[in-house]
Chain A
Amino acid sequence: MTKPKEIDWERLEAIIDKNRGETWALIPLLQDIQETFGYIPEESIEPIAEALSLFPSQVQGVISFYAGLSLKPKGKYVIRVCRGTACHVKGGRSILRLMKKQLGLNEGETSPDYQFTFETVACLGTCFLAPAMMVNSTYFGKLSPPKVTTVLTQYGKDKGEDKKA
Chain B
Amino acid sequence: MEAISLTINGKHISCPPGTSILNAAVENGIKIPTLCHHPHLKPAGACRLCLVEDEKSGRIMASCVTPVSTNMVIHTDSPEIKRHRTNIIRLMIASHPESCILCNQGNRCELRQIAAELGVGQIGLYPMPHYTGLEEANPFIIRDLSKCILCGKCIRADHELVVVGAIDYNLRGFKSLPATAHEMPLEESSCTFCGTCVSLCPTGALMVKNTRYVGSPQNESVTLCGFCGVGCSLVMGSVDGQIVEVNPSHHDEAVNRSTLCVRGHFAHDFLNVSERLTSPLIRRDGELSPATWDEALESVAEQLISTKRKYGPQSLAFLGSSKCTLEENYLFQKMARAILATNNVDNGGYGSGKAVVNLITEKLNGGGRITPLASLEKAELVFVIGANPLQSAPVVGYSLKRASRMEGIPLIVADPRKTGLVAFSSLWLPLVPHSDCELINALAAILYTRKSYDTDFVNRFTEGFDLYRDGLSSLDLERVSRVTGIEIEMIERAADLFEGKKIAFVIGHGILQQRYAILAISALLNLALITGSLGGEGTGLYILARENNQMGAWDMGAVPDFLPGRQPLYNDTRRKHWEQIWEVKLSPDPGLNMIRMIEETEKGNLKALYIMGENPVRSLPQPERISKALKNLEFLVVQDILENETTHLADVVLPGTAFSEKGGSFTNLEGRIQSFEPVVSPPGEAKPDWEILDLLAVRMGYPRRHYSFRKIRAEISHLVPMYTGLEQEGEESWIRESSNLKLFRPDGEGEPIHFSPVIITEDETHDEAYPFTAILGSLRYHLGSGTRTTHSARIEGFALKGDLEISPEDGARLNLNEGDRVRISSPCGSISREVTLKNDLRPGLIFIPMAFHNNDAMELIELTQLGKADSPGWKECHVTLDKM
Q: Decide if A and B are genuine partners.
A: yes
A interface with B by C-beta (< 8 Å): 42, 45-46, 50, 53-61, 64-65, 122
CB of A50 within 8 A of CB of B171, answer no
Binds A, one of B175-183, B331-339, B538-546, B707-715: B175-183
CA distance A50 to B173 in the complex (A): 28
- Determine which residue in A45, A54, A61 has the highest number of CB atoms from chain B within 10 A of its CB, and name it: A61
CB-CB under 8 A for A57 and B405, given A64-B170, A64-B171, A65-B171: no
> What's the nearest-Cβ distance from chain A to residue B125, in Å?
20
CA distance A53 to B165 in the complex (A): 11
CB of A57 within 8 A of CB of B167, answer yes
CB-CB under 8 A for A57 and B179, given A64-B172, A65-B169: yes
CB of B182 within 8 A of CB of A60, answer yes
Total contacting residues, chain B, CB less than 8 A = 19
B154-189 contacts to A, CB under 8 A, are 159, 164-173, 179-182, 189
Tell yes or no: B128 within 8 A of A by CB. Answer: no
Q: What residues of A have a CB within 8 angstroms of the CB of B884 in the complex?
A: none
Q: Which 4 A-B pairs have the closest CB atoms?
A: A55-B165, A56-B181, A57-B168, A61-B168
CB of A60 within 8 A of CB of B168, answer yes
- Determine which residue in A50, A54, A58 has the highest number of CB atoms from chain B within 10 A of its CB, and name it: A58
B interface with A by C-beta (< 8 Å): 159, 164-173, 179-182, 189-190, 405, 423
> What's the nearest-Cβ distance from chain A to residue B175, in Å?
9
Among candidates A46, A50, A54, A60, residue contacting B170 with C-beta atoms closer than 8 Å: A60
- From A71, which residue of chain B is reached at the shortest CB distance? B182
Q: What residues of A have a CB within 8 angstroms of the CB of B182 in the complex?
A: 42, 45, 56, 60
- Determine which residue in B159, B168, B180, B182 has the highest number of CB atoms from chain A within 10 A of its CB, and name it: B168
CB-CB under 8 A for A58 and B172, given A42-B182, A50-B423: no
- Determine which residue in B166, B170, B171, B181 has the highest number of CB atoms from chain A within 10 A of its CB, and name it: B181
Q: What residues of A have a CB within 8 angstroms of the CB of B165 in the complex?
A: 54-58
- From A42, which residue of chain B is reached at the shortest CB distance? B182
> What's the nearest-Cβ distance from chain B to residue A14, in Å?
22
CA distance A57 to B190 in the complex (A): 10
- From A58, which residue of chain B is reached at the shortest CB distance? B168
Among candidates B172, B180, B423, residue contacting A57 with C-beta atoms closer than 8 Å: B180
- From A53, which residue of chain B is reached at the shortest CB distance? B405
CA distance A122 to B175 in the complex (A): 14
CB of A61 within 8 A of CB of B405, answer no
- Determine which residue in B179, B182, B189, B423 has the highest number of CB atoms from chain A within 10 A of its CB, and name it: B182
Q: What residues of B have a CB within 8 angstroms of the CB of A122 in the complex?
A: 173
20 A-B pairs (CB sep. < 8 Å): A42-B182, A53-B423, A55-B159, A55-B166, A56-B165, A56-B181, A56-B190, A57-B166, A57-B168, A57-B179, A57-B180, A57-B189, A58-B165, A59-B181, A60-B170, A61-B170, A61-B179, A64-B171, A64-B172, A65-B171
> What's the nearest-Cβ distance from chain A to residue B46, in Å?
14
> What's the nearest-Cβ distance from chain B to residue A54, in Å?
8
Q: What residues of B have a CB within 8 angstroms of the CB of A65 in the complex?
A: 169, 171-172
CA distance A45 to B165 in the complex (A): 13
- Determine which residue in A54, A57, A61, A64 has the highest number of CB atoms from chain B within 10 A of its CB, and name it: A57
Q: What residues of A have a CB within 8 angstroms of the CB of B167 in the complex?
A: 57
> What's the nearest-Cβ distance from chain B to residue A145, in Å?
29
Q: What residues of B have a CB within 8 angstroms of the CB of A42 in the complex?
A: 182
CA distance A50 to B166 in the complex (A): 14
> What's the nearest-Cβ distance from chain B to residue A67, in Å?
9
CA distance A58 to B159 in the complex (A): 10
Q: What residues of B have a CB within 8 angstroms of the CB of A46 in the complex?
A: 181
> What's the nearest-Cβ distance from chain B to residue A16, in Å?
16
- From A55, which residue of chain B is reached at the shortest CB distance? B165
- Determine which residue in A45, A46, A60 has the highest number of CB atoms from chain B within 10 A of its CB, and name it: A60
CA distance A59 to B159 in the complex (A): 13
CA distance A60 to B182 in the complex (A): 8
> What's the nearest-Cβ distance from chain A to residue B164, in Å?
8
Q: What residues of B have a CB within 8 angstroms of the CB of A57 in the complex?
A: 165-168, 170, 179-181, 189
CA distance A45 to B167 in the complex (A): 14
CB of B159 within 8 A of CB of A61, answer no
Q: What residues of A have a CB within 8 angstroms of the CB of B169 in the complex?
A: 61, 65
CA distance A65 to B168 in the complex (A): 11
- From B191, which residue of chain A is reached at the shortest CB distance? A57
CA distance A110 to B169 in the complex (A): 25
CA distance A148 to B182 in the complex (A): 36
Q: What residues of A have a CB within 8 angstroms of the CB of B168 in the complex?
A: 55, 57-58, 60-61
- From A61, which residue of chain B is reached at the shortest CB distance? B168
CA distance A117 to B116 in the complex (A): 47
Q: What residues of B have a CB within 8 angstroms of the CB of A61 in the complex?
A: 168-170, 179
> What's the nearest-Cβ distance from chain A to residue B433, in Å?
27
Q: What residues of A have a CB within 8 angstroms of the CB of B423 in the complex?
A: 50, 53
CA distance A53 to B166 in the complex (A): 14
Q: What residues of B have a CB within 8 angstroms of the CB of A50 in the complex?
A: 423
Q: What residues of B have a CB within 8 angstroms of the CB of A59 in the complex?
A: 181
